[in-house]
Structure 1
Amino acid sequence: MTIITACTGGGGGPEIRVGSKDFTEQYVLGNLYEILLDESGFDADYKPAGGSSENHQAIVNGDIDIYPEYTGTALLTHLGMEFDSSMSADTVYSTVKDAYANDFELAVLEPTDFNNTYVLVMTKPKAEELDIKNVSDLSTKGGDLTFGTTQEFTERDDGLPGLRETYGGFNFEEIVALDPGLLYSGIEEGEIDVTTGFGTDGQIAAYDLLVLEDDKKFWPPYPAAPIVRQAVVDEHPEVAELLNQLSATIDADTMQELNWEVSGNGREADEVAREFLEENGLIGS
């Protein structure tokens, strides 16, 4: 594979406006996009644009040119389609790609090789004690456990209500609604037994937690793909080439490590992003 890198960096080329959502992983991805494009001769400018709806509306309106989106979110939220457990990640991606081109004149570039779906996690000793390996096990063995999650998760269709409908059970001894920032500390300190997270959270590896298998495939796949205005791709096809090369370098372990550098070790997202791009030969050092 030929790696496209910049001969000169920083700026005086075509303007590219990069957005993202407002949480750690998206900050990392947004900075990766900006730095890669900026170092490849574009005048890239990155600014988080809010949540899923705000980013989608911004790119449809032409206020931003690029942002990272998860294919599951695109399918369910932006397209209003339903997920069937028989749908593979490739099927979801191709469905989203075709619909975005037809409905929004947006290009969905190659997705990353990670799945940032919802996950249910426990400490390994607790899971071994109760012989819990997957979500089905948890649904029937949670009677003596404390489940800590966000208030939103207790109400969302793809949260606790949907899990109960798909798996049955989920009758915990206690359900505690916590701030998202307290979920992992709660399980690490033994205040809760089970919590919700996302598949690429750095805390999963850092705290050596067990991710329970979603054995009934309740959640759709959530790889991240760069969403780009088609007009930008038509005028500057190298944008797609660069971002596709970037996506090919990011698997689940890599994304967890990058996230942990920011959320766990307190480093700045732009510093972590630049270091990754240099180490992988995508930009010069």
Structure 2
Amino acid sequence: MQKVTEEPSLYRHLEKMPVKEILTHINEEDAKVHLAIQEVIPRLTELVEAILERMKKGGRLFYIGAGTSGRLGILDASECPPTYGVPPDWVIGLIAGGDHAIRNAVEFAEDSETQAWKDLQDYFVNDQDAVIGIAASGTTPYVVHGLKECQKHGILTACITCNPDAPVSAYADYSLEVIVGPEFVTGSTRMKAGTAQKLVLNMISTTVMIGLGRVVDNKMVDMQLSNQKLVDRGTKIIKNTVGGTYDDAKALLLEHGSVRKAIEAARQ
């Protein structure tokens, strides 16, 4: 297949460009990302609704990927517990090569046709869950064969890729093909493709968490109070919601341990 993600950059002789010109052109390319995502919002809507249906019944959301794509999935999954106060097994990110691959390249890990399914089985993946494969190229064996095996077992599948008619799409019930075009540095899919994947993952997890009731109005009422900045944020949310002084709001927060519980207590 002809991979858009591997097509030559629209720019030549990058090493001869002044710094400002490099930065300007990278920004011009990045501006194309949100337009590409806009094209997949109808399909993305269907996917999120399907994920919500499963998670409301106790299902989980898995991301599988390799390299940059895998790291982006892990990043999104790891941010759900502190942001929304959910258990760490609601959204799970898996990367080819295991945790070592988060910081280091693991040779040939993405070429395995069996490892993704083994990794998913460690979490007893089942037909109540949803699995999203993330692969800029759309050809990564770890992802392609992981989704293929999921479909055999009746598990909802989706993919985020940046090539049209990619092999991974054949095994995705919901294929999100975000076509951002050639990279500024030819083939460097950590750039536009990675940005597109990150934005789509943000959209999926945020919308899912809102749908699961983890946001009230526009506030993260279940966030973990893991540092003083978040205690301050939580205090201000309480103060702005129920009134009173900052000190009263902070005392409520520290007494009840969460923004949601503090607001509920103040309203009783």
TM-score by length of 2: 0.30
Of Structure 1 and Structure 2, the greater strand share is in 1
Larger Rg: 2
Q: Which has the higher contact order (CA 8 A, sep 6+)?
A: 1
Of Structure 1 and Structure 2, the greater helix share is in 2
